[in-house]
Amino acid sequence: MAFDNLITEKRDGIGVITLNRPKVLNALNSALMRELGEALTAFEGDDDVAVMVITGSEKAFAAGADISEMQSKGFADVYKEDFITSEWEQILRCRKPVIAAVSGYALGGGCELAMMCDFILAADSAKFGQPEIKIGAIPGSGGTQRLTRFVGKSKAMEMCLTGRMMDADEAERSGLVSRVVPADQLLDEAMKTAGQIAGLSRMAVSMCKESVNRSYETTLSEGVLFERRVFHSVFATEDQKEGMAAFVEKRAPQWRNR
């Protein structure tokens, strides 16, 4: 796959997508987001890929939606093209896990993009924020909603109302990121974590992802019921038979992804 604004690579069952507009700190313009959607769709349909990693540069994961591209749009333009939902949310349609590996700035749409991934691994240099308020706007792709669920109302409200950035330690303390690693080890750590997941049953991984995500959409009792039904369903898979047999026989499982 050749793109103008991304670099993609496939390695050991992992599809890596590197946002690549370094001159503008990976500002997310519509061309980049269209390409990101295409790359995710291609990896999603590729049997050689089990897990995806989205990353940026050392200085920026992404410094937000491209302000130069947005500045002259009017209400009718953004309303008619339903600016930002469809293309930008392609990531939410992936059934394979998607990991965000964030170094440097993840601001505005960059922070929102990271939060749409299944989890965020952060370099110690990472800085998260929703600074749209400083340019007379508000977050437009889930920032007010997802950030609030990650870090709670008080912190999310302060960040969205002031536009202040959160460093990697605060992000880890607040539950926004799963782990912080030294900047020079970020991609290696992301690949290692992705590799662990890629070595598991794809059926189980996908069903597990679906169950965790359900917790965001429903009540606790409905979510637990959903989980139990999915848990029951794993007993219909060959991988559950294989995984449990391998444990009992003290050998490595041979996943069939069925």
Q: What's the CA angle centered on 82, arms 76 and 83, to 5 degrees?
A: 90
β-strand pairing of 6-11 with 14-19: antiparallel
CA distances from 28 to 35, 84, 108, 132, 204 (A): 11, 11, 10, 14, 33
- Does residue 27 bind ligand CO8 (CB under 6 A)? yes
Does position 107 interact with ligand CO8 (CB under 6 A)? The reply is: yes
For residue 132, indicate whether it is catalytic.
yes
Task: Decide: is 159 part of the binding site for ligand CO8 (CB under 6 A).
Answer: no
Q: Is there binding between residue 63 and ligand CO8 (CB under 6 A)?
A: yes
Q: Which of 108, 109, 110, 143 is catalytic?
A: 109
Question: Is 189 part of the annotated catalytic residue set?
Answer: no
Binding status of residue 108 toward ligand CO8 by CB under 6 A: yes
- One residue of 9, 48, 77, 135 binding ligand CO8 per CB under 6 A: 135
Indicate whether 118 belongs to the interface with ligand CO8 (CB under 6 A). no
The two tokens of residue 163 are: 């536009």
Q: Which residues contact 147 (CB under 8 A, 6 or more apart)?
A: 111, 115, 130, 139, 156, 159, 160, 176
For ligand CO8, how many residues bind (rule: CB under 6 A)?
25
Across the beta sheet with 98-102, the strand order is: 6-11, 14-19, 51-55, 98-102, 119-123, 179-181
Residue 131 binds to ligand CO8 (criterion: CB under 6 A): yes
**Widest CA span in the chain:** 65
* Site membership for ligand CO8, residue 160 (CB under 6 A): no
Query: What are the b/e assignments for 85-96, b being 16+ CB within 10 Å?
Result: eebbbbbeebeb
Minimum distance between the CB of residue 180 and ligand CO8, rounded to whole angstroms?
Answer: 20
Task: Pick between residue 35 and residue 132 the one whose CB is nearest to ligand CO8.
Answer: 132
Of 132, 140, 168, 194, the active-site residue reads 132
Active site residues: 65, 109, 112, 132
Binding site for ligand CO8 (CB under 6 A): 24-25, 27-28, 63-68, 84, 88, 105, 107-109, 112-113, 131-132, 135, 137, 139-141
